[in-house]
Amino acid sequence: MEMNNTISYIDRKSGEVVIENPPGGGMLSLLYNSALGLVTLNTLVKRKFVSRFYGFLMERSWSSKLIKGFVEKYSINMSEFIVPVGGYVSFNQFFYRALKVGARKVSKGIVSPADGKVLAFENIDSNFSFHVKGITFNLEDFFQDKTLASKYEGGNMTIIRLAPDDYHRFHFPAKGEVDETVNIKGDYLSVSPLALKSHLKTFSSNKRAYTNLKTNEFGDIGIIEVGSTMVGSIVQTSISSNAVEAGEEKGYFKFGGSTIVLFFEKGKMSVAKDILKNTQMGIETKVSMGESIEHMDNQPF
């Protein structure tokens, strides 16, 4: 749910509505919701070289001076991470910081692949629309593959949005075997709700990476990492084609906001009821990596 230049979501544990104040929120609103901003966006900001240059700056040693203030402003719990605040050589290294072993409990079934805010949709078709956001989502455009698009017809889709202050490594949502990751070329538009309000086909035009996860219990799961404004790259750290476990690291995003989209085949998985209910109300639900996003009878939410 967005009001003016704010983003709100439901904290899943407390049930309270929280206002998110992302870095650069005012600039995003200007870029995506004004005539001048859209001209700037289409001629400059979404281009690859701009994201690469910004990524270059965030790799410089001087950028590490930004870390302490960022941690304090967004109340980031650094006790969960291997390296302390003063141990990073650049802001980018801090951005894709690694968790300590055991920092996240991994639930049974389908789990969130990342810390973020989730939306979920059931029974998607080939020309599915985000009724809340007003954006047309075409499966074939998204995958750039007609066979893949038809594979997920009638299935479920979850979208996990990572804000810049979130933990930016991503993990496997279930136990299974991994196929090769395929990169899909695209732009670097923002995935913030402030940007999505402008009705741009962001998810189908951004740079993204697709991986097929074969599971015994849930069929094939499509995992797609979507790049965003000022994200230098999507890095895959898991190169094994062998079996993986739920919660095992898959990769990370370099600097910027980012999104992970999961696709499930028809009849293979039921989304948690609280997430579906919040989505229908037009609001995201905050989840942590390893937290169940599947409907289970004994679920506390």
Query: Which tens digit of pLDDT belongs to each residue from 99-153?
Result: 999 999 999 999 999 999 999 999 988 777 654 444 556 788 788 888 888 899 9
pLDDT value for 41: 36
**Active-site residue, 258 included:** yes
Residue 35 has pLDDT above 60, yes or no: no
Contact assessment for residue 261 and residue 158, using Cβ atoms and an 8 Å cutoff: yes
pLDDT value for 148: 87
**Active-site residue, 115 included:** yes
Nearest Cα residue to 203 out of 213, 189, 221, 217: 189
How many Cβ atoms are within 10 Å of 104's Cβ, its own excluded?
A: 19
User: Which has more confidence, 231 or 76?
Assistant: 76
Of residues 171, 228, 274, 292, which has the active-site annotation?
Answer: 171
**What is the dihedral angle through the alpha carbons of 281, 111, 257, 47, rounded to the nearest 10 degrees?**
-100
What predicted TM-score, i.e. pTM, was given to this entire model?
Answer: 0.83
Percent over 90 (pLDDT), the chain? 48
Nearest Cα residue to 237 out of 171, 287, 164: 171
Least confident among 35-39, 222-226, 286-290: 35-39
Return d(Cα 141, Cα 54) in angstroms, integer.
28
Of residues 29, 115, 168, 288, which has the active-site annotation?
Answer: 115
